[in-house]
């Protein structure tokens, strides 16, 4: 009887732990939405095959599984700080390793999805899979979750552009100088 009571007590404690964790998740999502008010990522997760805004961090439908890369970083940060501080500290971090910092991904305007703002900071690629795969059967979003690379001007491109400007300025100055000399000659 005592053994059964102990088992029930352990289950209650464990269940209570996960329940308290689960109850805290809306608070985390609220903090996320407060930090990134322009992002439509939570709503897009609900509209995606994932089917709920918890998909910003979790692998639906099981919330107790390991989460995506972003969630794993948040959990690590929460060991020493509040959720608001954790979100701030991770803003410049590239949790999913796709080359784009979390804050940039979350607030990037989608050219492929008119009206939408934000890629997933915890998923990558054209189907939105999670490189930090946890347990369970995590659903891909079925949408691009890595921002297109930002076009950059190469060093040689910058050199050619600068030289072109210098040559154009030099030619313009020579033309003006010749006109000025011609005016002086005519006046004499």
Enumerate residues 6+ apart whose C-beta is below 8 A from 149: 99
Pseudo-torsion of CA 150, 153, 155, 158, nearest 10°?
A: -160
Per-residue x/- marks for Ca ion, 119-138, CB under 5 A? xx---x--------------
Block residue for tokens 């269940």: 15
Closest CB to Ca ion among 15 and 131?
Answer: 131
SS3 3: helix
Q: How far apart are the first and last CA of the chain?
A: 123
In the complex, minimum distance from the CB of residue 71 to Ca ion, in angstroms, rounded to a whole number: 13
For residue 73, state whether it binds Ca ion (rule: CB under 5 A): no
In the complex, minimum distance from the CB of residue 162 to Ca ion, in angstroms, rounded to a whole number: 35
Q: Which stretch binds Ca ion (CB under 5 A): 40-48, 83-91, 93-101, 109-117?
A: 93-101
Distance CA 133, CA 99 (A): 18
Closest CB to Ca ion among 77 and 124?
Answer: 124
Please compute, for residue 169, the number of CA atoms within 13 A of its CA located in the half-sphere on the CB side.
6
# binding residues, Ca ion (CB under 5 A): 7
Closest CB to Ca ion among 80 and 111?
Answer: 111
For residue 72, state whether it binds Ca ion (rule: CB under 5 A): no
For residue 116, state whether it binds Ca ion (rule: CB under 5 A): no
In the complex, minimum distance from the CB of residue 29 to Ca ion, in angstroms, rounded to a whole number: 18
SS3 129: strand
Provide the sign of the torsion angle of the four alpha carbons 18, 23, 29, 34, taken in this order.
negative
Closest CB to Ca ion among 98 and 116?
Answer: 98
Contact assessment for residue 101 and residue 94, using Cβ atoms and an 8 Å cutoff: yes
In the complex, minimum distance from the CB of residue 128 to Ca ion, in angstroms, rounded to a whole number: 7
Residue nearest to Ca ion (CB): 145
> Residue from 39, 70, 73, 98 that binds Ca ion (CB under 5 A)?
98
Q: Which residues bind Ca ion (CB under 5 A)?
A: 96, 98, 119-120, 124, 145-146
């Amino acid at each position: 009887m005592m053994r059964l009571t102990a088992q029930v007590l352990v289950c209650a404690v464990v269940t209570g732990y996960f329940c308290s964790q689960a109850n805290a998740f809306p608070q985390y999502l609220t903090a996320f939405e407060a930090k990134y008010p322009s992002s439509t990522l939570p709503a897009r997760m609900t509209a995606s095959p994932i089917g709920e805004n918890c998909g910003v961090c979790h692998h639906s439908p099981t919330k107790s599984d390991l989460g995506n890369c972003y969630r794993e970083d948040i959990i690590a940060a929460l060991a020493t700080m509040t959720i608001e501080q954790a979100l701030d500290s991770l803003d410049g971090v590239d949790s999913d390793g796709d080359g784009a910092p979390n804050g940039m991904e979350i607030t990037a305007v989608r050219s492929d999805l008119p009206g939408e703002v934000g890629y997933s900071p915890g998923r990558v690629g054209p189907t939105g899979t999670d490189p930090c795969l946890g347990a369970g059967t995590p659903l891909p979003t079925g949408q691009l979750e890595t921002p297109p690379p930002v076009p950059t001007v190469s060093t040689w491109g910058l050199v050619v552009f600068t030289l072109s400007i210098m040559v154009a300025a030099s030619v313009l100055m020579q033309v003006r100088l010749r006109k000025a000399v011609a005016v002086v000659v005519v006046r004499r």
